[in-house]
Amino acid sequence: MLKEIIFYGRGGQGGVTAANLLASAALKSGNKGVQAFPFFGAERRGAPVKAFARISDEEIYLRSQIREPDVVVVLDTGIMDVVNVTEGLKEDGIVLLNTPRKPSEVEMPCRVATVDATTIALNNKILVGGIPVVNTPLVGALAKLLDGVNIEAVKEAIKERFGKNAEANANAAEQAYNEVVL
Amino acid sequence: MIVIDTGNHIAALAAKMAKPHVIAAYPITPQTTIVERLAQYVENGEMDAEFIRVESEHSAMAACIGAASVGARTFTATSSHGLLLMHEMLHWAGLARLPIVMVNVNRALGPGWNIWSDLNDSLSQRDTGWIQFYASSVQEAYDNIIQAYKIAENEEVMLPAMICYDGFILSHTSMPAEIPEQHEVDKFLPEYKPAWKMDVEKPATHGNIVPPEYYIQIRYDMHLAMERAKKIIQEVGEEFGRKFGREYGLIHEYRCDDADYVMVTMSSIAAEGRVAVDRLREKGEKVGLVNLRTFRPFPREMLKYDKMIVIDRDISPGLGGVVYNEIRGNGSEVYGFMAGLGGMDVSYKDIERMYELAKQGKEGLYPLEVK
């Protein structure tokens, strides 16, 4: 079963890293086909950016960009003023938002999941240049929403990627996994 | 071991495992991360190679030519305008019959400035005497680099080889790749032992004036070497298959056996095309796909299907699709599309649409001007 995920965030926020961590965790969870790639644009810090991930139990031959995602992850809800994040979302697709609000408090024409990744990042003291790192908790939350990706694999992928702060990022991912609400 | 990483990082790993003595390269988007990674390998002692920092791509190729002339195994990588700046030296490497191996990350040419995938950079090096491989996955990029050395250094060949893959679509996409152990690679690709090299102990003149009656032989011999390379590419691809479980040839056929139409393409579009073929087959369409692995030597004699649809991510102004025109005139009914230029996304839906259009006898620039 192919699952396609789009990450929306701002340049420098870690959307591409999130896609890579998810792909790595999916591979560790036993999926044969995984992919992670940035939107092929001119990226700059602060501007809205997109990253993609694909997960399948079979080898993936698709090389095109994702147009009809199963899950959309929004790292910064502020970009929803300028980007239509539900564009192309599959009928039973899910939007995962980084917000302290509950899904019932969000008005969107689709299934909504929420997790307060910013607060989780602050509590775990994962900051880069003073900015909370929300990508690792959001990947943790995805492990709850996606069949075939387990949280242990997410933590392992995080530990492989981050030298120092690996533990704090892995803890943040686990906390988000436990706190995400659909 | 299965590793997940970007096309560029996996290419750098392949280059490292092929154990070149000399790397000379200049960074350019989207090739940069190959050079960064190789510089890191050399810096931290993981790789025992001379890394020459050069001031341009022309110099990078010149340095590789010098090193290869004294019998060193060499590696470089470039993209787009970098490859074009090398052009004079590419002919030099080809005519000097030096088995230099290079990665070209395909990128469009400017102006208008564009950093995305387009195959015109490498296809316009068609006549330089370089073998050209095209990869449709990160795994193929790795496998092609390892095999390229063995093919290029074969005494029946002795030609430089270029491994090409799409900028961003493969260079910056993380995918899993099976990486063999170093000792397995060493066994498959032993140390380079040139039959001839420049040697200060045995001085000889090299590159002096050649009268027409000899020059014509040199030039034609290059052509014959390229023809012989077809057999060697096949043999090395089979040996690679026996050792590593992934067999290669000049082309890869997918569901072609009973096909009424065969789509011919290369690079990432060839992977996406498999998805289109599967979907069309489900609808009862008898269609297959050929992934062209080599553009030089060109396996023209293998492309004998009644009806072919060629998809080019390139354009030769005044003639049309490059691959299309290499095939046309072989007795088959051939339809040509140019698509995805400058990184335009080509999805399986686009490929299915091109198939439908070809069935109606149409061809041209997709999706803007199809007649």
CA dihedral B277, B282, B286, B289 (to 10 degrees): 10
d(CA A173, CA B2): 24
Using the Cβ of B56 and the Cβ atoms of chain A, whether some distance falls under 8 Å is answered with no
Place of tokens 């080599």: B294
Q: Is B329 helix (H, G, I), strand (E, B) or coil?
A: coil
Whether the predicted pLDDT of A47 surpasses 90: no
Using the Cβ of A5 and the Cβ atoms of chain B, whether some distance falls under 8 Å is answered with no
Distance from CA of A33 to the nearest CA of B (A): 8
Which pLDDT does position B58 carry in this prediction? Answer: 98
Selected for mutation to probe chain A from B4, B6, B119 (highest A CB count within 10 Å) is: B4
Using the Cβ of B341 and the Cβ atoms of chain A, whether some distance falls under 8 Å is answered with no
pLDDT category at A43 given cuts 50, 70, 90 is low
B chain contacts of residue A19, beta-carbon cutoff 8 Å: 174
Average pLDDT over residues B330-346: 96
- Which residues does residue B134 pair with via DSSP β-bridges, in sequence order? B164
pLDDT category at B285 given cuts 50, 70, 90 is very high
Residue B371: partners with Cβ closer than 8 Å, 6 or more residues away = B362, B363, B364
Amino acid at A114: T
Q: Give me the residue from A19, A32, A63 closest to B169, CB to CB.
A: A63
Strands A48-56 and A3-10: antiparallel
Backbone angles phi and psi of B262, in degrees to 5: -120, 125
DSSP string of B16-46, one letter each residue: HHT--SEEEE---TTTHHHHHHHHHHHHTTS
Calculate Rg over the CA atoms of chain A. 15
Domains of chain A: 3-179 (3.40.920.10)
CA dihedral B89, B219, B192, B237 (to 10 degrees): 100
d(CA B84, CA B80): 6
Mean pLDDT of chain B: 97
Whole-Å CA distances, B37 to B9, B11, B40, B46: 7, 10, 5, 11
Whether the predicted pLDDT of A53 surpasses 90: yes
Distance from CA of A27 to the nearest CA of B (A): 8
d(CA B134, CA B122): 10
pLDDT category at A41 given cuts 50, 70, 90 is low
Residue of B nearest to A157 (CA): B4
Using the Cβ of A17 and the Cβ atoms of chain B, whether some distance falls under 8 Å is answered with no
Residue B191: partners with Cβ closer than 8 Å, 6 or more residues away = B19, B73
> How many other β-carbons are positioned within 10 Å of the β-carbon of residue A55?
29
> Which chain A residues in 35-74 lie under 8 Å from chain B, judged by CB atoms?
35-38, 40, 42, 60-65, 67
CB contact under 8 A, B172 and A40: yes
Count residue pairs from A and B with Cβ separation < 8 A.
59
DSSP string of B62-79, one letter each residue: HHHHHHHHTT--EEEEE-
Show the DSSP H helices in chain B as ranges.
7-17, 32-43, 57-69, 80-85, 87-95, 120-123, 138-152, 182-188, 212-244, 268-282, 322-327, 348-359
Amino acid at B14: A
Average pLDDT over residues B276-288: 98
B chain contacts of residue A24, beta-carbon cutoff 8 Å: 4, 174
The answer to whether residues A98 and A134 touch, using CB atoms and an 8 Å cutoff, is yes
Strands B307-312 and B294-296: unpaired
Which pLDDT does position B139 carry in this prediction? Answer: 98
Output the six-digit token pair for B48: 């025992």
Question: What is the distance in angstroms between the CA of the first residue and the CA of the last residue of chain B?
Answer: 49
Residue A180: partners with Cβ closer than 8 Å, 6 or more residues away = A96, A113, A114, A115, A140, A141, A144, A145
Query: Could you report the per-residue pLDDT of B130-184, keeping only the tens digit for each?
Result: 999 999 999 999 999 999 999 999 999 999 999 999 999 999 999 999 999 999 9
> Could you give the count of Cα atoms lying within 13 Å of B74 in the half-sphere of its Cβ?
28
Q: Which of B115, B154, B148 is nearest to B131 (CA)?
A: B148
Using the Cβ of B178 and the Cβ atoms of chain A, whether some distance falls under 8 Å is answered with no
Place of tokens 């436990």: A178
B chain contacts of residue A62, beta-carbon cutoff 8 Å: 271-272, 275, 348
Using the Cβ of A23 and the Cβ atoms of chain B, whether some distance falls under 8 Å is answered with yes
Q: What are the residue boundaries of the structural domains of chain B, listed by start?
A: 2-244, 251-370
Query: Could you report the per-residue pLDDT of B229-267, keeping only the tens digit for each?
Result: 999 999 999 999 999 999 999 999 999 999 999 999 999
Output the six-digit token pair for A28: 């560790």
Whole-Å CA distances, B127 to A16, B33, B296: 39, 28, 9
Using the Cβ of B177 and the Cβ atoms of chain A, whether some distance falls under 8 Å is answered with no
B chain contacts of residue A33, beta-carbon cutoff 8 Å: 176
Using the Cβ of A164 and the Cβ atoms of chain B, whether some distance falls under 8 Å is answered with no
In the DSSP assignment, the letter for residue B304 is: -
Element (H, E) at A142: helix A135-145
Average pLDDT over residues B176-195: 97
B25 burial type by CB count under 10 A (0-12 exposed, 13-18 middle, 19+ buried)? buried
Q: Is A110 helix (H, G, I), strand (E, B) or coil?
A: coil
Using the Cβ of B172 and the Cβ atoms of chain A, whether some distance falls under 8 Å is answered with yes
Element (H, E) at A171: helix A166-179
pLDDT category at A42 given cuts 50, 70, 90 is low
CB contact under 8 A, B172 and A63: no
pLDDT category at B71 given cuts 50, 70, 90 is very high
Amino acid at B165: Y
d(CA B223, CA B368): 38
Which pLDDT does position A155 carry in this prediction? Answer: 97
d(CA A45, CA B45): 33
Strands B287-292 and B261-265: parallel
Q: Give me the residue from A38, A42, A63 closest to B268, CB to CB.
A: A63
Using the Cβ of B346 and the Cβ atoms of chain A, whether some distance falls under 8 Å is answered with yes
- Which residues does residue B24 pair with via DSSP β-bridges, in sequence order? B52
Q: Give me the residue from B4, B343, B346 closest to A34, CB to CB.
A: B4
Output the six-digit token pair for A20: 């890579």
Average pLDDT over residues B201-229: 94
pLDDT category at A39 given cuts 50, 70, 90 is confident
Give the E-state strand segments of chain A in sequence order.
3-10, 33-38, 48-56, 71-74, 94-98, 111-115, 127-128, 131-132
Whether the predicted pLDDT of B346 surpasses 90: yes
d(CA B26, CA B60): 7
- Arch. (CATH architecture) of B2-244: 3-Layer(aba) Sandwich (3.40)
Q: Is B143 helix (H, G, I), strand (E, B) or coil?
A: helix
Query: Could you report the per-residue pLDDT of A89-118, keeping only the tens digit for each?
Result: 999 999 999 999 999 999 999 999 999 999
Distance from CA of B6 to the nearest CA of A (A): 9
- Fold classified for B251-370: Rossmann fold (3.40.50)
Amino acid at B371: K
- Which residues does residue A113 pair with via DSSP β-bridges, in sequence order? A96
pLDDT category at A40 given cuts 50, 70, 90 is low
B chain contacts of residue A37, beta-carbon cutoff 8 Å: 168-169, 172-174
Q: Which of B177, B172, B92 is nearest to A33 (CA)?
A: B177
CB contact under 8 A, A34 and B175: yes
Mean pLDDT of chain A: 94
